[in-house]
């Protein structure tokens, strides 16, 4: 035995477009002795990664198969239409789904939007990835609908995007295996929900310094004692002031 033991890490899977940076920073402050490892996965792989133990929790896009998984919705993203900068749609503030009827719409295999029915005209083939679809938009093959964060992620100087009304939105959620709700998982849930150290149910609350959880009793007593002593000392002076004045004449 070497006398040392490697600290186990906590693994966070996240899908493209999601930026977990603020939660990672909070984790490093509250649980400094447990490293947080980031695991980048595609939207299609997120479900399998959690079920096969590739990550402890995941920032995923709904819908996912919920059997055996918890999921807490975090926020919803607007969908946008990605077009070349010289396209006629670039001249308007927003586009509606009905405006796409005459245009070829690219539908990548990793599309994360839950369409009841695809608008526009279908392309001959489906691109493998959103990144491939963006390249085809730049080549003038068709247009692409994605959550706004993916449009930003795959930004190009020759492309732009506009909000698309009537399109399904994308909901980002925190997910984990029902049977794996550990102390560390509870800690991360508290972080993404904005709980403070004092209100956290996880490990961070137990390991937080005592000063962060409650005020020091000694300091409070000192303050109270000092104030009381000052009041007692002031009392005689106040009394003497009232008794002052001209001395009474003796008869």
Sequence spans of domains, the chain: 10-76+171-209, 79-168
At residue 226, the pLDDT reads 44
pLDDT single digits (tens) 115-135: 999 999 999 999 999 999 999
79-168 folds as: D-Maltodextrin-Binding Protein; domain 2 (3.40.190)
Domains 10-76+171-209 and 79-168 agree in fold: yes
Query: In the numeric block, which tokens belong to residue 206?
Result: 């137990």
Burial class (CB in 10 A: 0-12, 13-18, 19+), 6: exposed
What's the angle, vertex CA 105, arms to CA 100 and CA 111, rounded to 5? 120
> For 65-79, what is the mean pLDDT?
94
CATH architecture of residue range(s) 10-76+171-209: 3-Layer(aba) Sandwich (3.40)
Give the helix/strand (H/E) hosting 234: helix 217-243
| Res 197: pLDDT | 74
Give the separation between CA 147 and CA 35, rounded to whole angstroms. Answer: 30
Q: What is the dihedral of CA 191, 196, 198, 201, to 10 degrees?
A: -20
- The rounded distance, in Å, linking the Cα atoms of 112 and 57 is 19
Percent of the chain with pLDDT over 90: 72
């Amino acid at each position: 035995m070497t006398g040392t033991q490697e600290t186990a890490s906590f693994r966070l899977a996240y899908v493209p477009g999601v930026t977990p940076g603020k939660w990672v920073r909070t984790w490093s402050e509250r649980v400094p002795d447990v490293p947080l490892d980031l695991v980048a996965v595609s939207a299609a792989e997120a479900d399998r990664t959690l079920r096969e133990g590739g990550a402890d929790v995941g920032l995923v896009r709904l819908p996912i198969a919920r059997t055996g998984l918890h999921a807490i919705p975090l926020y919803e993203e607007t969908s946008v239409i990605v077009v070349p900068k010289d396209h006629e749609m670039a001249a308007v503030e927003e586009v509606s789904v009905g405006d796409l009827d005459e245009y070829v719409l690219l539908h990548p295999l990793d599309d994360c939007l839950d369409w009841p029915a695809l608008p526009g005209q279908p392309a001959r083939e489906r691109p493998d990835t959103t990144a491939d679809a963006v390249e085809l938009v730049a080549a003038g093959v068709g247009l692409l609908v994605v959550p706004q964060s993916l449009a930003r992620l795959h930004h190009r100087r020759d492309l732009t995007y506009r909000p698309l009304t009537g399109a399904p939105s994308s909901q980002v959620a925190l997910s984990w295996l029902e049977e794996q709700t550990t102390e560390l998982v509870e800690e991360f849930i508290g972080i993404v929900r904005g709980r403070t150290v004092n209100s956290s149910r996880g490990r961070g609350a137990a390991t937080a310094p005592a000063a962060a959880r409650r005020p020091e009793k000694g300091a409070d007593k000192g303050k109270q004692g000092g104030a009381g002593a000052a009041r007692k000392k002031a009392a005689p002076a106040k009394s003497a002031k009232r008794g002052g004045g001209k001395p009474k004449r003796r008869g």
